[in-house]
Amino acid sequence: MSSLLYKQAVEQDMVAGILAESVKNVKRTNGRISLGQCVRDAW
């Protein structure tokens, strides 16, 4: 049971991090971003 709770906590933390990064990107780009810009930022 504790293993499942740990896995769930890790997954929730990952989702929260992805969501926070997405919100930060939208604020930074004012909602406007190109595919090329995404690729450059990823590398």
For 11-36, give the DSSP string. Answer: HHHHHHHHHHHHHHHHHHHTT---HH
pLDDT in tens, 9-23: 999 999 999 999 988
Three-state secondary-structure class, residue 3: helix
pLDDT, residue 25, reads 82
How distant is the alpha carbon of residue 3 from its chain centre? 24
Per-domain boundaries in the chain? 2-42
Rounded Cα distance, 20 and 14, in Å: 10
The per-residue pLDDT for 36 is: 80
